[in-house]
Copies of this chain bind each other. A is one copy, B any other.
Amino acid sequence: MDKVKIGVVAPAARLEPATAERVTTLATAAFAGRAEVVFHPQCFLSAGHFAGDDNARAGAFLEFANDPGFTHVWFARGGYGSGRIVPSVLDGLTAAAKNKTYLGYSDGGFLLAAFYKKGFRVAHAPIPHDIRRIGGEAAVTRALAWMINGTREALEPSIDHVHPVVAFNLTILSMLVGTPWMPDLRGHVVMIEEVSEHLYAIDRLLAHVTSSDEIRLVAGLRLGRTSDVPDNDPPFGQTPEEIVRHWCGVSGIPFLGLADIGHDSGNKVVPFGR
């Protein structure tokens, strides 16, 4: 088997150099000699909210995506910013970009969606910045184990390899509805998760997503974790699961149960498709 060579770029927020060092140390200790993790210096740039301006982020992304030496492109961190570079990244891809796997989640869903639509291999997966979480080394190790060994235990356990699957942060999925980057999700199991949103906003996002005629063609929804939910004033009166069940009922989309994904160190890998 060819050696795994993982290129890390930051399409959204910047990474601290010390975080990159921790990930490199962990990868060396756990998978010595079997993989190389290369952090693009763009990861450490800073321009307002972002890890460098749009040109810098798109340029670094394309440099690694178009480099035939990399087997994987791993998104350093979420936050916000991936959506801003989708058009220029899509415009700059060459043939070598298709022969690798792209991994990220949260804000990175903008790129995962657009790349999946193009027929590229993409996966919702823990990212380097997750090492800063409590228990975060397990999350990063899980992503690396899947990239390096194809470890099945890294996968979200409901994946049956029969139904195609995708996983998205709910806000990002909502921001994709009605745009050219939304892949055809007919027949897919769609896993959603959310962080730092009020319950009323989660309800509103589900109202949006489940009202889309395209989304109504999915095989069903699975709910991942909703974490750091700010207090609703007044109390919303429904749990996240009750909210999802409500909108599944209204829209006729089957509710399939929970999903083992979220903004936490337990977050599992979901390769898009079958």
Contacts and interface: CB of A to CB of B under 8 A. Distances in A.
A145 to B, nearest CB: 32
A84 to B, nearest CB: 6
A102 to B, nearest CB: 20
A79 B49 CA distance: 28
A237 B180 contact: no
Contact of A48 (B79, B181, B213, B238): B238
Nearest to A79: B200
Task: Give the oligomeric copy count.
Answer: 2
Q: Interface residue tally of chain A, by bracket?
A: 35 or more
Nearest to A107: B204
Contacts of A171: 204
Nearest to A251: B87
A178 B178 contact: yes
Interface in A57-105: 79-80, 83-84, 87
A175 B178 contact: no
A208 B237 contact: no
A36 interface: no
A211 interface: yes
A237 B204 contact: no
A232 interface: yes
A229 interface: no
